[in-house]
Amino acid sequence: MTKTLKAFENKKAFIPFITAGYPNADASVEYILAAADAGADLIEVGIPFSDPTAEGPVIQKADMVALQNGMTVKGAFEVVERVRKVKPDLPIAFMTYINPVFKFRGDAPEGVETEPYVPFFERCKADGIDALILADLPFEEQEEVLSVSDKYGVDLISMVSPTSEDRIRRIAKSPRGFIYVVSSMGVTGVRSSFAYDTIGNMVRLIRETNPSVKCAVGFGISTPEQAEKMASISDGAIVGSAILRLIAGGGTKEDVYNYVKSMKDAVDRA
């Protein structure tokens, strides 16, 4: 079993998302540590991308601010290294888009060709990144990445969404880590209501195909009530925009701690 799945050992999982470098590198390390202290079972660290097509306004802005303040892919690895020193056993995933992963060259000198994806996953292995979520890499295109990520022991997470329908069976057949269930149509960002039946049906279809697979639901969740409900019909809840909104509004690491604690308590009730 990979370390990613340890996230699901402590009852239902609560998985916060925090953008590396938002609002700056030091602060994002503090926020991640606060979330871990509050009981987060796995942390998704966002590597900011210039054109995040799956994100709503909150994460778009976080990506933009982080990049403006100098965050880089290398910088995101350094953020994780600093977290790792304090939290050696915390499951950590990166979430980003394919291009920064495809283009990453590590420390290769200029002019030296590198094999696509190899430097990125080498560095993941060295820094103890357990999983990778790529918003713009669907199942059909995973192969070119999987051949490398598997070799370095990094779980390439698959997503399913309300439009996946018949695709769910193919996706759920041999997933790495857990399956990221996209709660609803559209981009990331807080929603006031959900079609819980639709989400329940997606999870049911995944489990029918593959009874041992873990499913965490994300996109739009912000309140403890929503998180509890999601956890009751799946194995955990993923929350990003609500946390970044808290940070954008001047939230301290104590605020993040308290929020994550309330959310972890909520999924534990499920």
Which residues would be at the binding site for other proteins (CB under 8 A)? Answer: 49-54, 56-57, 60, 64, 67, 72-74, 98-105, 135-141, 143-144, 158-165, 167, 182, 185-187
Token digits for 199? 């989400």
Phi first, then psi, for residue 222 (nearest 5°) are: -140, -30
Q: Which CB atom, from 238 or from 260, has the smaller least distance to other proteins?
A: 238
The amino acid present at 6, given as its one-letter code, is: K
Q: How far is the CB of 79 from other proteins (least distance, A)?
A: 15
Show the tokens assigned to 177: 């880590």
Task: Report the interhelical angle of 253-269 vs 224-233 (nearest 10°).
Answer: 40
Q: Of 243, 241, 234, which Cα lies nearest the Cα of 262?
A: 243
Name the residue nearer to other proteins (CB basis): 10 or 50.
50
Residue corresponding to tokens 């995101």 = 76
Pick between residue 67 and residue 270 the one whose CB is nearest to other proteins: 67
**DSSP string of 156-209, one letter each residue:** EEEEE-TT-TTHHHHHHHS-SS-EEEE-SSSSSS--S---HHHHHHHHHHHHHH
Q: Are 77 and 94 in contact (CB under 8 A)?
A: no
For other proteins, the closer of residues 53 and 174 by Cβ is 53
Annotate 121-130 with b (16+ C-beta within 10 A) or e (fewer). bbbbeebbbb
Residue with smaller CB distance to other proteins, 6 or 105: 105
Q: Which CB atom, from 10 or from 57, has the smaller least distance to other proteins? A: 57
| Minimum distance, C-beta of residue 142 to other proteins, in the bound complex (Å) | 9
What angle (nearest 5°) sits at the alpha carbon of residue 56, between those of residues 51 and 59? Answer: 70
Least distance from C-beta 237 to other proteins, angstroms?
Answer: 18
